[in-house]
Structure 1
């Protein structure tokens, strides 16, 4: 690693109570063939019995890693807070992020990043690449999860000289997904301009910053190369935010993301995407509440979803929920009167 006082990249890894997984993520960064970067590790309040394991890992790399530890909290400070803390103390011109349970598989990633950014005449605000997702048993997901579908939809060739392509918001919105934080690189000043990650979110905070970043970026590059191995959280284990967060709570976070997009996005097409996302979440909540026999609340969310995006099918379903709510209410009144 370079000893220069101003590194080109700052690679930020946040970790909490997962020293073994963290070690693999860290090594994937330190094995890069590029030297002009720094590594910042933010320990998000790990339990005391994990701290020695972290120290054992970091003792091997003390000269190459800046380690900062947040005070212990039961649920941690949150992914967004920890990432923002790393960004705040970073010195690099560009910020890269990687979760502690994932790792980079492309050892030339940073050197290609550097060459592609330097080849542009104007400064690049955002650099987007791809990753593969794997289940806990090691099998690869066959579905397109993030923005890998753009390779075929836009005809990008990822086999020719590892090229990155200038891309617009309109082109990015051709994708059915969003870019995971592992695959986003921000110009440091641009990250600050869009206020970093939303610390009020504890689920899909990377979707939120992706929408805000592509909305305001003046120059973006898309690299079709797969650079990262992403481990899909095991739903049977509550060891991370995406699995420990109760389903309805997840929907509330997602609603916040879409509401922000509708209210604040500068681009009409992005606002449309967020309206579609909000409508879907409201309908999912309605169905969830119906399955819990909470018909009154289900009807309320169903009508809200209908107001955002109308369809005859959903109108009929909303009417059904309202009628069911009235039926349940009247049945309770009859039972009460009979009891009296």
Structure 2
């Protein structure tokens, strides 16, 4: 089997039904779908059970479900995707968030053609996706979309629309490749260590940096194959809104610190250090806004130690004096 498509879901059977339907529309490819239910609760569990029965009856050779025990906050996307990968049979792993869609029914067929013409086989294959917020398409580049224009200006792609890309080229893009449009060789996924289960948010950024650092061959196709639906900030049934902004930033900082410390490529370490400064500053502002002056001072000084900035020095000294004054008062 060539592809295993991994979908983690929890408490969103309606959205999940649309997501898996978009995957199954890719008929001209050899693939399986592994669904991991991360402890869906009633009444959503009854809906998911009915959907599972229908899907397994119609696609018994293609779709497999696994159910994890319920936890209040779930096991987290990284754990669930690693669990799914451990049960995969495909040579390559693909992913889709349960509230997003694949919009190109030829996605896996295109990937098949690229892999057939690529001795040796690439470790990573990246595509593009489009983002929608409240039903409106976002026009700015969010992931790798701006990279395609620069590559086309230098040279045409191969016969399947793919480019062989370097780490340096990838790091010029707006951001990392979203998990929805990432295809990774399963054996390489194991070599990299899969997703870091200590990271609940933006585990795909951490995985992306570790993966491109170790990959021998990476291909990128500037072709829109997926739609990311920006989560409603008021909704409670998704990872993005279940995790606080501070928790998100701490998870991001964890991944960036690993990349700055452990990367083999100088470009990745430099990228991680740059983004680590920005993240520390955001954490300092968030802690200050929450009146957690000790934490604000800690993050501010850490950012200042990485790169000196006179304006940031004044902020750091101001927060430090306020924190000391508060302790003296108490």
| TM-score, normalising length: structure 1 | 0.91
2:152 to 145, 152, 155: 155
What residue is the counterpart of 1:140 in the other structure?
A: 137
Cα 1:260–1:159 change in 2 (3 A) is: closer
In 2, Cα distance between equivalents of 1:292 and 1:46: 33
The one of 41, 48, 51 aligned to 1:47: 41
Once the two structures are TM-superposed, the CA of residue 138 in structure 1 deviates from its matched residue by 0.4
After superposition, the C-alpha distances for 1:252-282 in whole angstroms (9 at most, x for unaligned) are 1111111111121111110111111211111
Contact preservation (8 Å) 2:145, 2:174: no
Question: Shift of the alpha carbon at 1:291?
Answer: 1.9
Deviations 1:182-218 (A, max 9, x none): 0110001000100111111110001010011100000
Larger CA deviation: 200-209 vs 64-73: 64-73
Assess if the C-alpha contact under 8 Å between 2:32 and 2:90 holds in 1: yes
Equivalent pair of 1:158/1:223 in contact (CA under 8 Å):
no
CA distance in 1, matches of 2:157, 2:22: 22
Going from structure 1 to structure 2, the CA distance change for 1:114 and 1:216 (only over 3 Å counts) comes to same
* CA contact 2:94–2:184 (8 Å) conserved in 1: yes
* Residues 158 and 224, structure 1, Cα contact 8 Å, conserved in 2: no
How far did residue 327 of structure 1 move? 4.7
User: Is the CA contact 1:178–1:210 (under 8 Å) kept in the aligned structure 2?
Assistant: yes
- The structure 1 residue matched to 2:176, chosen from 168, 175, 178, is 178
| Alpha-carbon distance in 1 for matches of 2:32, 2:271 | 36
Query: Does the CA contact (< 8 Å) of 2:78 and 2:203 recur in 1?
Result: yes
* Shift in Å, 1:158: 9.0
* CA apart distance, 1:292: 2.7
Aligned to 1:270: 268
* Structure-1 residue corresponding to 2:50: 56
Instruction: State the 1:326 CA deviation.
Output: 4.3
In 2, the alpha carbon distance for the partners of 1:251 and 1:31 equals 36
Question: Offset at 1:81?
Answer: 1.0
Check conservation: 2:8, 2:38, Cα contact below 8 A.
yes
Q: 1:15 aligns with which of 9, 12, 15?
A: 9
Instruction: Give the distance between the partners of 2:276 and 2:224, measured in 1 at CA.
Output: 30
Aligned residue in 2 for 1:104: 102
Judge conservation of contact 1:81–1:199 (CA < 8 Å) in 2: yes
Offset of residue 149 of structure 1: 1.4
1:60 CA displacement: 2.7
User: Whose Rg is larger?
Assistant: 1
Change (3 A) 1:155 1:319: farther
C-alpha contact 1:153 1:174 (8 A) present in aligned 2: no
| Residue equivalent to 2:286 | 288
User: What is the aligned-residue RMSD (CA, Å)?
Assistant: 1.9
Task: Give, in angstroms, the shift of residue 329 of structure 1.
Answer: 5.1
Query: Residue 300 of structure 1 aligns with which residue?
Result: 298
Q: Secondary structure at the match of 1:111?
A: helix
Q: 1:297 to 1:68 in 2, by over 3 A?
A: closer
How far residue 91 of structure 1 moved from its aligned partner, in angstroms, is 0.5
Report 1:201-280 matches (<5 A): 201-280=199-278
Deviation at 1:290, TM superposition (A): 2.0
Q: Distance in 1 between matches of 2:13 and 2:290?
A: 39
Residue of structure 1 in register with 2:25 after alignment: 31
Deviation at 1:236, TM superposition (A): 1.1
Are 1:162 and 1:225, in contact at CA under 8 Å, matched by a contact in 2? Answer: no
**1:51, distance to aligned residue in structure 2 (A):** 2.4
For the 8 Å contact 2:9–2:37, the answer to whether it is kept is: yes
**Per-residue deviation at 1:57?**
1.7
* Unaligned segments of structure 2, at least 5 residues: none
Name stretches of at least 5 consecutive residues in structure 1 with no aligned partner: 1-6, 334-340
For this pair of structures, how many residues does the alignment match? 325
